[in-house]
């Protein structure tokens, strides 16, 4: 029996709607799984299981939780849907979703463990230039950890197709991954890189520093130390020793300080300032005690003082000022005084102005006095007016201070006195 045309059209239309509905449900399932996975990242394992069962994304007994390390070292868990489904769902997320780029990147890193070149190809679908490069570099880091020779071969093959600066970042990512799995081999390969030009030399040094940093972070301090100490004396060795001390001081500044002391006159300014800079972030008082043993003429003294004041004054303006006052006055301390003045300008502008006046560098002094004046007249106009009235300034200087406004960068005007 021949069916009416309109009846056939209704059947076809119904089938199309059902098919579209099924596809949409499948895609939404993948999207939901990806979103649920990302949302449970900050929960405990029990909370992750509860969330999955409550939202009905997947039955617990059928779930295999997979974890992938992100650049920040956190793990994101995904239910046992296929990687392709999860990736399709992630790309289907709206561009306005702040989780989208991170989820896509993490899925591509997972894909890189088995199919790195496919992951790189998929990454080219990311429309944001910034997010695409971040994803590609994360893929290359993962590839460098599992098969560094293949990753480096890929970089060599594509070196003429990618701008040098961009390619250098990709090489850094590969060696970062390489150092995670085989730090000694990574160092040896990086050490053999060309350095005929300044660009090549800078890239080589940066990669070597990255490898040493990664090695120390992973508990390979002793091997890293012996490796660097065995190098020929020169700028590269000094740079790497400073990098090693910098990383060391993040978790054991006392031991790092003992090592620097053991080097005697061989300890470079770079090493000392690296030590002080890191130490000051965790214990500025201890860092200040160590610095007090340095000769005031040591280049590390002035720089180290600035590092300490920059950190210490964030938490205790009074104690940091008292310590700064105990140091012998010198032009080398101008940076430290400037750091303190910046901090004090908003808390105690009258005190900050006294410090600004003590700076020996006239250009720096002028800028900081104007900076403090802008804050002071905003917080306490009458006190600021009294200061101007009692101070012996020329009309030009008085006018500058009265009209001072905050400027984000160093001033270009000359001295105030």
- Provide the residue-wise pLDDT of the chain in tens; the chain has 417 residues: 455 555 444 444 555 444 444 444 444 544 455 545 444 444 444 444 443 333 333 332 333 344 444 454 454 544 547 899 999 999 999 999 999 999 999 999 999 999 999 999 999 999 999 999 999 999 999 999 999 999 999 999 999 999 999 999 999 999 999 999 999 999 999 999 999 999 999 999 999 999 999 999 999 999 999 999 999 999 999 999 999 999 999 999 999 999 999 999 999 999 999 999 999 999 999 999 999 999 989 999 999 999 999 999 999 999 999 999 999 888 899 999 999 999 999 899 999 999 999 999 989 998 999 999 999 999 999 999 999 988 888 888 888 898 888 665 444 343 343
Sketch the domain layout of the chain as residue ranges. 26-141, 147-230, 348-417
For residues 7 and 14, what is the distance between their CA atoms, to the nearest angstrom?
11
Q: Are 155 and 116 in contact (CB under 8 A)?
A: no
Spell out the residues 6+ positions from residue 129 whose beta carbon is closer than 8 angstroms to its own.
none
pTM for this predicted structure: 0.71
Count of CB atoms situated within 10 Å of the CB of 14: 10
Give the closest residue to 321 by CA, choosing from 364, 352, 297, 282.
352
pLDDT at site 4: 54
* Parallel/antiparallel/unpaired status of strands 75-78 and 66-69: antiparallel
Question: Residue 117 has which token pair?
Answer: 């070149």
Q: Are 319 and 326 in contact (CB under 8 A)?
A: no
């Amino acid at each position: 029996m021949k069916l009416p045309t309109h009846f056939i059209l209704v059947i076809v239309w119904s089938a199309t709607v059902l098919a579209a509905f099924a596809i949409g449900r499948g895609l939404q399932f993948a999207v939901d799984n990806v979103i649920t996975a990302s949302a449970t990242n900050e929960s405990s394992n029990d909370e992750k299981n509860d969330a999955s069962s409550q939202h009905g994304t997947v039955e617990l007994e059928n779930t295999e939780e997979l974890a992938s390390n992100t650049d920040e070292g956190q793990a994101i868990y995904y239910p046992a849907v296929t990687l392709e489904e999860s990736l399709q769902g992630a790309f289907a997320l709206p561009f306005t979703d702040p989780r989208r780029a991170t989820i896509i990147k993490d899925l591509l890193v997972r894909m890189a463990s088995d199919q790195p070149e496919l992951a790189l190809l998929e990454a080219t679908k990311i429309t944001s230039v910034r997010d695409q490069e971040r994803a590609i570099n994360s893929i290359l880091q993962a590839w460098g950890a599992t098969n560094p020779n293949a990753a480096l071969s890929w970089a060599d093959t594509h070196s003429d197709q990618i701008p040098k600066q961009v390619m250098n970042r990709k090489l850094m990512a590969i060696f970062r991954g390489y150092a995670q799995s085989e730090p000694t081999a990574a160092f040896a390969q990086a050490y053999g890189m060309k350095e005929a030009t300044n660009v090549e030399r800078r890239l080589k040094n940066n990669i070597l520093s990255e490898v040493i940093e990664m090695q120390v972070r992973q508990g390979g301090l002793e091997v890293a130390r012996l490796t660097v100490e065995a190098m020929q004396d020169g700028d590269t060795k000094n740079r790497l020793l400073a990098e090693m001390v910098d990383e060391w001081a993040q978790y054991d500044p006392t031991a790092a300080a003992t090592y620097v002391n053991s080097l005697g006159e061989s300890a470079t300014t770079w090493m000392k300032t690296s030590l002080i800079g890191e130490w000051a972030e965790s214990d500025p008082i201890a860092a200040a005690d160590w610095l007090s043993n340095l000769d005031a003429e040591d280049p590390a003294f002035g720089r180290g003082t600035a590092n300490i004041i920059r950190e210490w004054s964030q938490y205790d303006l009074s104690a940091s000022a008292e310590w700064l006052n105990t140091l012998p006055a010198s032009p080398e301390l101008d940076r430290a005084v400037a750091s303190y003045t910046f901090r004090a300008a908003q808390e105690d502008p009258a005190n900050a102005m006294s410090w600004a006046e003590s700076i020996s560098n006239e250009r720096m002094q002028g800028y900081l006095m104007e900076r403090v004046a802008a804050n002071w007249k905003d917080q306490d106009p009458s006190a600021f007016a009294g200061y101007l009235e009692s101070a012996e300034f020329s009309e030009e200087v008085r006018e500058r201070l009265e009209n001072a406004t905050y400027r984000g960068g160093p001033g270009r005007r000359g001295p105030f006195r």
